[in-house]
Amino acid sequence: MPPKKAVSTKAPIAILLPPSEGKAGGGAKPGWRPSNGDFGRAFAKQRAELLAVLESLGGGDAKLLGVGGRNLEEAQRANLSLLGSPTLPAHQRYTGVVWDHLAPSTMTAAVRRRASESVLVISGLLGLVGFDDPVPDYKLKIGASLPTVGKLATWWREPLSKALNARLAGHHVIDLLPNEHRAAWTPTPDAYASLRSVTFVEKSGKVAGHDAKAAKGLLARHLLESKSAPDDALRAWTHPRFRLEIREASPGRS
């Protein structure tokens, strides 16, 4: 058995988060283009293809988008006007429980800089999104299946993994993704300083569900604020309801 790789305490951290289903409205110009953001050059072709599919579907139906009534109409309208639509930075566009408890608007300048360098989001429409990337209003889950494309997590896996693994090289990676988002990424942990996948567990031992979203946002905030090594920061985190189950990637995991 090869010796266990020493874990650097000085390597930068990367925190993987999901987007939110709910999104803040509005935004500013210049309008959004598929080539926008840190990963725009890598994913412009894929993003443009998804725009074309959504246009052919009239923005998507209730089954695809998972909403109905007025929410469906608003989602369709957003999906049909993506090109050139107003944008917000990802940390302002994404709302919902995880992002509310990450609370980017209350970060100090130093913590916000670290978030800008560290937080990466896996998105059904955009592939990968940085903390400050310009993001349009849209509705498309990573678990959705589209005509000619199939399940988005599978469709994205090869190009997304290539780009994400290049970005994660040499980083301490903290994976806070739901399983449907993890399905879009094939890690190469031997290239990272470390990889830790985190699951939230009730005190009873039951794996937590939706109720852990707030805790996930709080943990991400804790990691960004901590001056300790990532493993020490994970061990130091406490919550009145949940504990962390931390899985360390095995050498050669793919």
- pLDDT per position as a tens digit, 203-216: 889 999 888 999 99
- Domain extent at residue 210: 13-25+87-248
pLDDT over 50 at 120, yes or no: yes
Q: Is residue 112, in this structure, part of any structural domain at all?
A: yes
pLDDT over 70 at 2, yes or no: no
Give per-residue burial for 93-106: e unless 16+ CB within 10 Å, then b: bbebbbbbbbebee
Q: Is residue 80, in this structure, part of any structural domain at all?
A: no
Structure confidence by residue, pLDDT tens digits, 91-100: 999 999 999 9
Mean pLDDT of 118-126: 98
Q: Is residue 5, in this structure, part of any structural domain at all?
A: no
Q: What percent of the chain has pLDDT over 90?
A: 90
pLDDT over 90 at 142, yes or no: yes
CB 129 within 8 A of CB 121: yes
Q: Is residue 63, in this structure, part of any structural domain at all?
A: no
Q: Is residue 42, in this structure, part of any structural domain at all?
A: no
Q: Is residue 50, in this structure, part of any structural domain at all?
A: no
Structure confidence by residue, pLDDT tens digits, 179-191: 999 999 999 999 9
pLDDT over 50 at 252, yes or no: no
pLDDT of residue 7: 52
pLDDT of residue 10: 80
How many domains in the chain?
1
pLDDT of residue 8: 56
pLDDT of residue 3: 45
Measured CA to CA, the distance from residue 210 to residue 140 in angstroms comes to: 19
Q: Which of 149, 238, 185, 190 is nearest to 2 (CA)?
A: 190
Q: Is residue 241, in this structure, part of any structural domain at all?
A: yes
Q: Identify which has the larger pLDDT, 72 or 4.
A: 72
Q: Is residue 133, in this structure, part of any structural domain at all?
A: yes
Q: At what angle do helices 109-118 and 213-225 cross, to 10 degrees?
A: 110
Q: Which of 106, 60, 104, 107 is nearest to 82 (CA)?
A: 60
